[in-house]
Amino acid sequence: TNLARMLEHGRLGGTGKMLILPVDQGFEHGPARSFGPNPPAYDPHYHFELALAAGCNAYAAPLGFLEAGARDYAGRIPLILKLNDHDLLADEEDPEQAITGSVADALRLGACAIGFTIYPGSTHRNAMYGQIRAIAKEAKSVGLAVVIWSYARGSALSKEGETAIDVIGYAAQIAAQLGAHIIKVKLPTAHIEQPAARNVYESTSIPIGTAAERVRHVVQCAFNGRRIVIFSGGAHAEEAPFLDEIRAIQAGGGFGSIVGRNAFQRPREDALKLLGQITDIYAGR
């Protein structure tokens, strides 16, 4: 029911596609870097308003941001409580996330889902898999959907290699096997040889010539479309190439996008225009 609430909400309601606004970047990247480009975004209420005005399916954030808007926005938009977070204040090759909320918090805030990041590729990955196993079991037992941010990174992968098609496909498969209803990955790029990582790529079996073909392969890796795969927006980009990426996701059978910085780092009216164009593409309008 909670998954359906998200799929039925907003401008994409009933299309089977999703657009989610995620705002955990204040924690993940730092407040000035995240909100400095558009200072009204320092205010947690700004993001509830933006997600509502844009007709997003859901708004995802850590505990503090959701609590700061709980009284004013209760029941107005499906919420995803991000249950773990990572900061950039330490320089580490193999990142891990801290648990920063609970299933009880998600219920208290009326959320539809819990969100959790895993870093396949980090030496800490097995601990994260164990954590999400326990948290997903508890979330499902009380009817909450499970959203996994599956970001391959760590000392075995190069920066460019984090988005290589074989790595993203593998990350999507791991999230699906961990029981995610919704899987969030980065948009895949071409295969990159990575001497430090084990070779998991069979070049003869994957058509990966275009962005849309790569998206199709990632969806295939997430149980052939039986799990919802959405793609992250990434760093602030020009409108035209960004919309080309959205068209590639649509053409490749992706289920939608989770767009943070490309939304809240733009002035509100520009963000609403861009988010409107995204929903038009996914709705086939």
One residue of 2, 3, 11, 22 binding ligand FBP per CB under 6 A = 22
Calculate helix-pair angle for 268-283, 239-251, nearest 10 degrees: 20
In a 10 Å sphere around its CB, with 0-12 CB exposed, 13-18 middle and 19+ buried, how is residue 170 labelled? buried
Contact region for ligand FBP (CB under 6 A) — 99-107, 127-135, 167-175, 253-261?
A: 253-261
Active site residue 184: yes
Cβ proximity to ligand FBP, 203 vs 240, nearer residue? 240
- The count of other CB atoms within 10 Å of the CB of residue 195 is 8
One residue of 28, 96, 166, 245 binding ligand FBP per CB under 6 A = 28
In 3D, which of 6, 120, 98 has the Cα closest to residue 60?
6
* x-marked contacts with ligand FBP along 145-184 as a string, rule CB under 6 A: ----x-x---------------------------------
Does the footprint of ligand FBP cover residue 10 (CB under 6 A)? no
Structure-block tokens of residue 73: 């926005």
Q: Tell me the closest approach of the beta carbon of residue 253 to ligand FBP, in angstroms.
A: 20
Q: Tell me the closest approach of the beta carbon of residue 187 to ligand FBP, in angstroms.
A: 10
Q: How far apart are the first and last CA of the chain?
A: 27
User: Is the separation of the CB atoms in 69 and 59 below 8 Å?
Assistant: no
- Judged by CB under 6 A, how many residues of this single chain contact ligand FBP? 15
Q: Between the CA of residue 130 and those of 84, 124, 133, 264, what are the distances in Å?
A: 13, 10, 5, 33
One residue of 81, 258, 274, 278 binding ligand FBP per CB under 6 A = 258
Does the footprint of ligand FBP cover residue 135 (CB under 6 A)? no
Question: Which residues are identified as catalytic?
Answer: 184
